[in-house]
Amino acid sequence: MNGDGARPALKGIHHVALIAGEYARSRQFYTEVLGFSVLAETFRPERESWKLDLEVPGGTQLEVFSFPDAPLRPSYPEARGLRHLAFAVPDLPAWARYLTAQGQMIEPIRTDALTGKTFFFFQDPDGLPIELYEA
C-alpha cells in the first residue's frame, strides 16, 4: 500500500532468474532447445560470473547466471521456494515430440483436473522442473 492506502498497480512479471550449474550447457538449452532470444550476455570478471538475459515470448525475461561453486538446491521432494517454471504453448503434442527428438526426457502428458488443459513436465540441465501448459 502507498501512503494514501491505495494499492499501486503491478504490471506483471518482469523476469525470472536462475543460477546454472554449467553455463554453456544451460545457454544452449534455453537458446537452442527452447528457442529464447538473447537480449544481452555479460561476463562479470569480479564475480567470475556470466549473466545471460533472454527474451521469453510474451514479454517476460529469463536471467541465467553462473557462479563458481554455487550450492545445489533440492527439488525433490518438493522444497519451499520456486516450484517450477511454466511456459504456455499452443500445441502441446508438437512440443512433446520436439523435446523427445532433442533427447529430453519428458513426463507423460496429463490433464489439469481444474481447467481441463493438458500439460507435462521436463527438466533443464540443472534439474529445474519446467512445465509446458496448453494455452
Q: Say whether 83-135 and 12-68 share the same fold.
A: yes
39's enclosing H/E stretch is strand 37-44
Is the whole-model pTM more than 0.75? Answer: yes
Give the separation between CA 61 and CA 16, rounded to whole angstroms: 6
Evaluate whether 8 touches 2 at the Cβ level (below 8 Å). yes
- What element of type H or E holds 95? helix 92-101
Give the pLDDT band (50/70/90) at residue 9.
confident
Cβ neighbour number for residue 8 with a 10 Å cutoff: 6
Q: What is the DSSP letter of 31?
A: I
pLDDT value for 8: 66
The third-level CATH classification (topology) of the domain covering 12-68 is: 2,3-Dihydroxybiphenyl 1,2-Dioxygenase; domain 1 (3.10.180)
Return the domain boundaries, the chain. 12-68, 83-135
Residue 2 pLDDT more than 70?
no
Look at residue 28 in the predicted model and tell me its pLDDT.
97
What value does the mean pLDDT take over residues 33-60?
95
The H or E element that residue 118 is part of is strand 118-123
Q: What homologous superfamily is domain 83-135 in, according to CATH?
A: 2,3-Dihydroxybiphenyl 1,2-Dioxygenase, domain 1 (3.10.180.10)
